[in-house]
């Protein structure tokens, strides 16, 4: 776990919602992050997690997705799926949890109804942190494994990016805007790994 000083150094402009205390409380309630493998691997996984949320939440300055024009675009209506009347499932929290089915699954895992009350992720800091940890530990997303598994298996930081936003950012070497996003993620990871005294390893890009 990072110390308060390390957390402050990584997120010097974070908003009050994302407190160090809230992060610690969520870790206690949702164990598993950076808790397996060698000491170096644990430092690398913590660095990877904090780097990814730094990118996703604009260095812990965004509770809600900035692009309001997209707020009503996250309702998937596959068989057995629906959206609560009047609710929107845009990105919220440290990892920008998105889509109705993700809010439903996260809420079930945490024992709360986030499908009916998605804005709780933007109003309860512990819940916000818990959704990020839940996604990291249990969700494959558009990738091939969870971000947690990617670090444990030595697949590298790039594979965690694939699990979080691979459909939009991976396998697009000719897209300069996408490459800038990937470099931003990698830059955050290098910074965090250096702060924790861990080599970043290989396979940084997805």
Give the residue numbers annotated as catalytic, written as ranges: 56
CA distance 42 to 31: 13
Provide the H-helix boundaries in 37-84.
39-56
CA angle 51, 52, 57 (to 5 degrees): 105
Burial of 202 (0-12, 13-18, 19+ CB in 10 A): exposed
Q: Supply 152's token pair.
A: 């444990």
d(C-alpha 30, C-alpha 36), whole Å: 14
The number of helix segments (H) and strand segments (E) in the chain equals: 9, 0
Q: Report residue 182 as tokens.
A: 């990937």
CA dist., res. 30 & res. 199, Å (int)? 26
CA distance 1 to 28: 11
Cα 144 to Cα 166: distance, rounded to the nearest angstrom: 10
């Amino acid at each position: 776990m990072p110390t308060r000083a390390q957390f402050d150094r990584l997120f010097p402009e974070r908003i009050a919602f994302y407190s160090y205390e809230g992060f610690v409380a969520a870790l206690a309630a949702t164990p598993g992050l950076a808790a397996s493998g060698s000491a170096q691997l644990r430092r690398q996984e913590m660095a990877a997690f904090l780097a990814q949320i730094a990118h996703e939440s604009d260095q812990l300055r965004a509770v809600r997705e900035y692009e309001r024009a997209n707020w009503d675009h996250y309702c998937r209506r596959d068989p057995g799926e629906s959206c609560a009347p009047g609710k929107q499932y845009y990105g919220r929290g440290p990892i920008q949890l998105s889509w109705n089915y993700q809010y439903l699954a996260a809420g079930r895992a945490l024992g709360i109804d986030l499908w009916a009350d998605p804005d709780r992720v933007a109003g309860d800091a512990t819940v916000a942190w818990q959704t990020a940890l839940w996604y990291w530990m249990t969700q494959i997303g558009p990738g091939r494994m969870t971000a947690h598994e990617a670090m444990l298996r030595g697949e590298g930081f790039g594979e965690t990016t694939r699990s979080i936003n691979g459909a939009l950012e991976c396998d697009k070497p000719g897209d300069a805007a996408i490459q800038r996003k990937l470099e931003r993620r990698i830059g955050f990871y290098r910074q965090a790994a250096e702060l924790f005294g861990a080599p970043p390893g290989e396979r940084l890009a997805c």
